[in-house]
Amino acid sequence: MSKIKQTREEALTFHMEPRPGKFDITPSVPMTTQRDLSLAYSPGVAVPCEAIAATPETAYDYTNKGNLVAVISNGTAVLGLGNLGALASKPVMEGKSVLFKRFADVNSIDIELDTEDPEEIIRAVRLMGPTFGGINLEDIKAPECFIIEQRLKEEMDIPVFHDDQHGTAVICAAGLINALHISGKKIEECKIVLNGAGAAGIACLELVKAMGAKHDNCIMCDTKGVIYQGRTEGMNQWKSAHAAVTDARTLAEAMEGADVFLGVSAKGAVTQDMVKSMAPNAVIFAMANPDPEITPEDAHEVRDDVIVATGRSDYPNQVNNVLGFPYLFRGALDIHARAINDEMKIACAEALAALAREDVPDEVALAYGKKLTFGRDYIIPTPFDPRLIYTIPPAVAQAGMDTGVARRPIIDMEGYASDLQARMDPTQQILQGLYARARQAQATMVFAEGDDSRVLRAAVAYRRGGFGRALVVGRTEDVRQKLQEEGLGEAIADLEIINAANTPHLADYKNFLYNRLQRSGHDQKDIHRLAARDRHAFSALMLAHGHADGLVTGATRKSAHVLDRINSVFDATAKDGAVGVTALLHKGRIIFIADTLVHEWPEEEDLADIAEAAAQVARAMGLEPRVAFVSFSTFGYPVSERANKMHVASRVLDGRGVDFEYDGEMTVDVALNPDAMASYPFCRLSGPANILVVPARHSASISVKLMQEMAGATIIGPILTGVDKPIQICSTVSTVNDILNMAIIAACKVGQTT
C-alpha cells in the first residue's frame, strides 16, 4: 500500500480554505424572527438565568455546558515539535476540537494560554469551570503537566483529562488486554518493561498497575537507563514512584525475559537482539511517533511469535488516541460527571478490547478492503468502526455511575446506546470507507484535463493520498507552469503526464476508433482529431486499452459534450444501460438522486432500470437501498398523465422481483419525512427513502443544484453506472475535493457490475 504524502503547501491550503481554521460555530435554535431573538437574548434569556442561579445543576439543561469541552494548551510540548508556544499550538488544538465533534458529537473550543507558569494555568482553567462540562489538557510538557492536572482535578468539579498521558494509556491497555489474551498470559504475572518516562509512559505504567500488574514486575527506563530503587541521577517524584527493585541497569538488560515492552520513546530504541531476548509470545507496543522503537518487519524477522503494535496507521494494531478521548468524554458528559477516574478509563479499555474480539461487521471490512478478524494483527478496533460510539460511552458512563461521580445517572442504558447510534453522521463513515477501499485498490487514474489547476491539485492529492498512480493528460510545460502557479512546483514528480505526442499507443487508439466509428460518418481525419486532439476521447481510449484503471473528466466542459466524447469509445447511452446517480450529503443524511446525467425523459421501463442502477450504487457505498419514485402526486392523487409513469414504474419492478425496497409514486416529503409517510400505512418502505428516482433529467438537475446552492449540500456525482469501465464525469463547478471524490468513486468501481 502506498504511503500517504503531504507537503507544506497542501497543509497550509487545507488550514486556509475555504476560510481560515478548521471549524465554525452555528446556532442550534431558530434565529430568524424578532421573537427568536428575544427568546435567545433579552428579555427571554433572563428566565433560564434565574433558574440556574436558584439551582446550578440546571445549567446542564439550559446551556451547552453538558456537551462542551475545552481543549487547553500552552504549547510547551506540541506534537513532536517541542515548545512552540501558545499561538503556534492553535492548529493542533483546533484539530483536537474537530476530532471531538467528528467522532463523538462533542462540541469543543480550543483555548491557548500564553504562560509557562503552572499556577497561572491552574488559576485560568479553574476560573473557566462554569463554562465547560470537561477540560482536555493537551501538549503541556512534563513535569508541569502532572502538577497542573492533579491540582485541577482537586479544585474542579468537572472532568479534567490530560490526553497525552491517559489517552495513550487507555488504548495501550486495551491492546494489552487482548495481546495477553492471545498469548495466554495474566497481567499480574507478566514482566513489563516501559521505555520513556514522560507523561504518556508514566500514565501507561500507572494504568497497567491499576489493572493488576505487580510493581516490581514493571521496569521503567529513560534515557539514562533503568529507574531502580536507589537511583538519584535524573530523578523526580513521578519517576521515583515507579522505581523497581532490580539488578538491571540498561534497557537491554531489562528486556531479557520480558513478556511485554511498552515504548513511548524514540525511533530505533529497541534492537532485534533485545527482541530475541524476550520471553516466548512476547508483546511489543512500539508507540513512538512518527517512527516506532522497532518496526514490525524488524521484530518479525527475528521472532514470529511476537505481537506488535505501533502508533502508525500503515501497520496493523494502531494505538490511536482517537479511539479513547472522544468516547471517554461522551460517556462522562452524559452522566454530568465530576471526574474521569481510573475505573472509567479501565472500563473504556475493557470495552475497546471486547469490541475487537467481536465479529467485525461487513461495512467495516468493506471500508478497509479486507476481512478483519480478532488475532495477532487485529487486537485493537479500527478508528472508523461505527460501533465505537454506542459501545464505549455506555461502558464509561456505567463505571462513572458505579463509582459515584455521576450527577445524573442514566436509567435506560439500552435507550442511551440507541440515541448515541442515531446522533452520529453516517455520511462520514461512508466517505471514509470509500477512501480506505481506494487505498486498497491502488488504481491508476487518468485525469483528462491537465490544463485546469483544480484537476492538477486533485491529481496530486490522489497520488500523495496513497491511492495509486495519477496520469494527467496535458503538455509537460503547461502542467509544470500551472503547478508552479499553485505553489506546487515540485509536485510534477508525483504525476505522469501523457498526451498523443508522447504515447506509443496512438496508432492502436486510432485503429480502434476507426473500426468503431467508420460507419457513423467518421473518416480518417475525424478519427485523428478525436484520438490525438480531444483529451476526453484520448483518455477514454487509454482506459479502453487497459493503460489505466479509471477516468475522471468533465471539470472544464459541459457533461453532455463530455458524455458524447466518451460514447465515441464506450457504449454509454441510455439504451446501453448507462445511468447517472448523484449522491447528496446534507446534515448527516445521504440521498441518491437518479437519473441526473443520461436519460432526458425516461419511460416506465427506463425508470425501473434507473432504480436498479441506483440501488447498486447505494449498496456499493454501504447502504441498503430504499427507492421512492417521486412526483407531485402521491399514490394516484392528484391524477395526472405526467405522474402515471412513476406509478407504473413500481409495477415494472414488481415483475422483476428485485431484492430491495421500493414504492411510488409519492411526493418528496412523503419519501423523506417519517411523519408524512405515516399517513400512508400501506407504503412498502420501512423507513425514509435514500434513493429518489425522478421523472426527468431536468427535475433531477434542478433538485441537486437547488440543494447545493441553497442548503450547502455536498454533492458527489453524477456517478456514471452501466459502462464497461470506471468513468466519472465531474461538473464544471467542481472543487478540488469534488474531483478527488470522483476519482475515489472510480477507484472503488462504484457502479460497476464486476
Hey, which bits of 320-444 come out as E strands?
none
Q: How many CB atoms are closer than 10 A to CB 80?
A: 8
How far is it, in rounded angstroms, from Cα 394 to Cα 651?
Answer: 46
How far is it, in rounded angstroms, from Cα 149 to Cα 143?
Answer: 10
∠207-282-187 over CA atoms, to 5°? 35
- pLDDT tens for each residue of 528-580: 988 899 999 999 999 999 999 999 999 999 888 999 899 999 988 888 888 99
Whether the pLDDT of residue 754 is over 60: the answer is no
Say if residue 290 is preceded by a cis peptide, omega within 30 of 0: yes
What's the rounded mean pLDDT across residues 148-163?
Answer: 95
Q: What is the four-CA torsion angle of 672, 673, 677, 683, rounded to 10 degrees?
A: 20
Q: What is the value of pTM for the model shown? A: 0.76
Whether the pLDDT of residue 2 is over 60: the answer is no
- pLDDT tens for each residue of 644-702: 899 899 999 999 989 999 998 899 999 999 999 999 999 999 999 999 999 998 888 89
Whether the pLDDT of residue 642 is over 80: the answer is no
CB 553 within 8 A of CB 730: yes
Known catalytic residue at 96: yes
pLDDT band at 718 (very low <50, low <70, confident <90, very high): confident
Q: What is the four-CA torsion angle of 283, 288, 290, 296, rounded to 10 degrees?
A: -20
Whether the pLDDT of residue 368 is over 70: the answer is no
What's the rounded mean pLDDT across residues 146-175?
Answer: 94
Does 423 or 88 have the greater pLDDT score?
A: 88
What's the rounded mean pLDDT across residues 334-341?
Answer: 96
Residue 188 has a pLDDT of 95
pLDDT band at 1 (very low <50, low <70, confident <90, very high): very low
- Which member of 96, 191, 239, 725 is catalytic? 96
- Scanning 71-198, the segments in alpha helix (DSSP H) are 90-104, 118-127, 144-155, 163-183
How far is it, in rounded angstroms, from Cα 217 to Cα 187?
Answer: 10
What's the rounded mean pLDDT across residues 347-352?
Answer: 96
Residue 87 has a pLDDT of 97
Known catalytic residue at 62: no
Give Cβ neighbours of residue 236 (< 8 Å, ≥ 6 apart): 143
Whether the pLDDT of residue 367 is over 70: the answer is no
How confident is the prediction for the chain on average, in pLDDT?
A: 90
- Which member of 3, 5, 22, 41 is catalytic? 41
How far is it, in rounded angstroms, from Cα 237 to Cα 150?
Answer: 14
What's the rounded mean pLDDT across residues 473-492?
Answer: 88
Residue 18 has a pLDDT of 78
How far is it, in rounded angstroms, from Cα 184 to Cα 643?
Answer: 67
Whether the pLDDT of residue 3 is over 60: the answer is no
Q: Express as a percent the part of the chain with pLDDT over 70.
A: 97
Structure-block grid coordinates of residue 699? 427535475
Structure-block grid coordinates of residue 706? 437547488
- pLDDT tens for each residue of 221-270: 999 999 999 999 999 999 999 999 999 999 999 999 999 999 999 999 99
> SS3 for 699-733, per residue?
HHHHHHHHHHHHHCCEEEEEEEECCCCCEEECCCC
Give Cβ neighbours of residue 597 (< 8 Å, ≥ 6 apart): 559, 563, 578, 579, 580, 697, 718, 720, 729
Does 368 or 454 have the greater pLDDT score?
A: 454
Q: How many CB atoms are closer than 10 A to CB 320?
A: 18
Q: What is the four-CA torsion angle of 489, 490, 491, 496, rounded to 10 degrees?
A: 100
Among 6-10, 344-348, 399-403, 510-514, where is mean pLDDT lowest?
A: 6-10
Sheet with 160-162, side-by-side order of all strands? 107-112, 68-73, 134-137, 160-162
Of 229, 281, 228, 275, which is closest to residue 252 (Cα–Cα)?
275
Placement of cell 468516547 in the chain: 327
Whether the pLDDT of residue 160 is over 90: the answer is yes
CB 570 within 8 A of CB 727: yes
Angle between helices 604-620 and 641-656 (to 10 degrees): 60
Hey, which bits of 507-578 come out as E strands?
550-553
CA 190 to chain centre: 36
Residue 366 has a pLDDT of 60
- pLDDT tens for each residue of 17-59: 878 988 888 888 888 889 889 999 989 999 999 999 999 999 9
Residue 425 has a pLDDT of 66
∠209-324-319 over CA atoms, to 5°? 75
How far is it, in rounded angstroms, from Cα 566 to Cα 729?
Answer: 10
Of 635, 632, 614, which is closest to residue 623 (Cα–Cα)?
614
Residue 365 has a pLDDT of 66
How far is it, in rounded angstroms, from Cα 211 to Cα 175?
Answer: 13
Q: How many CB atoms are closer than 10 A to CB 403?
A: 15
CB 606 within 8 A of CB 649: no
- pLDDT tens for each residue of 385-439: 888 999 999 999 999 999 999 999 999 999 999 888 877 766 667 777 788 888 8
- Beta strand 134-137 with 192-195 is unpaired
